[in-house]
Amino acid sequence: MTAQLNPRGDVAVLVPAAGAGVRLGPGGPKALRLLAGEPLLVHAVRRIAAAPSVRLIVVAAPAADVEAVRELLAPVAPVTVVPGGAERQASVAAALAAVAPGPEIVLVHDAARALIPPELVESVAEAVRSGHHAVIPVLPVVDTVKEVDAGERVLGTVDRSALRAVQTPQGFRRSVLAAAHETAGDPLTDDAGLVEKQGVPVVCVPGSELALKITRPFDLALAEHLLAAGA
Ligand code: C5P
C-alpha cells in the first residue's frame, strides 16, 4: 500500500541513492541491491515515510535509472526522484534543489542505511525543531582505534572515549544546509562536515544499531537476519 505523507509535516528527507556501491561487489547501484527481495532504497523510503513529521521525500538516483526508480517507488510512497551527481555531495545538492517551499527542517539519509527506524527520523527532526541548527545521530566507538602510517605501522592509540561513529539521517535547519551547499568546496562524505566548515555548531543525538550502513556483503547478510527477526 502506498504510504501517505503528512501534508502538515515540517520535514523534508533527502535520500542520496546514486552511488555505484562497488564495495558490495559487482551488480549495479548499491541502493537497488536486494535485501529480502526488495531494493535497499525501497526499505529506506518505506521507513522514512512511516515517520509522522515527514512531508516530502526527494531521492537522488543514478542518472540512468531515474525513470526506473520513479516506477519502483510509486507504490511505496509519494517521492520526487532527481538525477544524482558524480559525488555524494552533488547528489545531495541536486535533491535539496528539488525541495518545494514549506518544510523548514531537512534531513539527509543514505539509502544504504535501509533499516532506519522511523523513531530515529523523528528524534533527529525533533532536535532540530528544538533549536539546533545541525544534528547527527552517533554511536560510541567500541573498538580500540590506532592511527597508522602508509606502511601500516602504528603511530599511536586514539582516545576512543572522545570518538563517535556517525550515522544518518543528519538533520539541519533548511537555510543552514542550503548555505553550506552553496559555499561547498571539496566533496565530503557527510553533510554535517560542510556545516562544521561554516562554523555552525553540530550536536549529537543517540543513533541506532539498526541504522547500520549496508556496505559490504557481510552487512547485507546481517540486515537479512535483522529483518527476519522482525526489525
Ligand atoms: O559511497 P557511500 O557509501 O559513501 O555512499 C553513501 C550514500 O550516498 C549511498 O546511499 C549512495 O547511494 C549515495 N551516493 C550518491 N551519489 C554518489 C555517491 C554516493 O547519492 N555519487
Ligand 1 contact via 86 beta carbon (within 6 Å): yes
Ligand 1 contact via 18 beta carbon (within 6 Å): yes
Sign of the alpha-carbon dihedral angle for 216, 217, 221, 227: positive
What are the DSSP E strand ranges found in 17-133? 34-35, 38-39, 54-61, 80-83, 105-108
Q: In Å, what is the CA distance from 98 to each residue of 13, 92, 152, 161?
A: 11, 10, 44, 39
Q: How far is the CA of 62 from the centre of ligand 1 (A)?
A: 10
At 28, the pLDDT band (50, 70, 90 cuts) reads confident
Q: In Å, what is the CA distance from 100 to each residue of 60, 183, 184, 196?
A: 15, 21, 22, 25
Mean pLDDT over residues 114-130, rounded?
A: 98
Ligand 1 contact via 62 beta carbon (within 6 Å): no
Quick one: pLDDT at residue 1? Answer: 76
Q: What are phi and psi of 39, to 5 degrees?
A: -60, 145
What Rg, from alpha-carbon coordinates, does the chain have? 17
The pLDDT tens digits for 35-52 are 999 999 999 999 999 999
Q: How far is the CA of 88 from the centre of ligand 1 (A)?
A: 5
Q: Rounded to whole angstroms, how far apart are CA atoms 134 and 203?
A: 6
The pLDDT tens digits for 135-183 are 999 999 999 999 999 999 999 999 999 999 999 999 999 999 999 999 8
Distance of CA 109 to the CA centre of its chain: 2
Nearest CA to ligand 1 atom 6: 110
Q: How far is the CA of 157 from the centre of ligand 1 (A)?
A: 30
Ligand 1 contact via 47 beta carbon (within 6 Å): no
User: Other CB atoms closer than 10 Å to residue 159's CB: what's the count?
Assistant: 8
The pLDDT tens digits for 182-220 are 987 888 888 999 999 999 999 999 999 999 999 899 999
Evaluate if residue 20 carries a pLDDT over 80.
no
Quick one: pLDDT at residue 26? Answer: 60
Domains of the chain: 11-136+167-228 (3.90.550.10)
Type of residue at 53: S
Quick one: pLDDT at residue 22? Answer: 60
Q: In Å, what is the CA distance from 215 to each residue of 21, 24, 113, 148, 203?
A: 7, 6, 9, 23, 25
pTM reported for the whole predicted model: 0.95
What are the DSSP E strand ranges found in 153-202? 154-158, 164-166, 170-173
> What is the biggest distance separating any 2 CA atoms in the chain, rounded to whole angstroms?
55
Evaluate if residue 17 carries a pLDDT over 70.
yes
Nearest CA to ligand 1 atom 2: 19
Q: How far is the CA of 17 from the centre of ligand 1 (A)?
A: 6
At 25, the pLDDT band (50, 70, 90 cuts) reads low
Q: Which atom of ligand 1 is nearest to the CA of 92?
A: 20
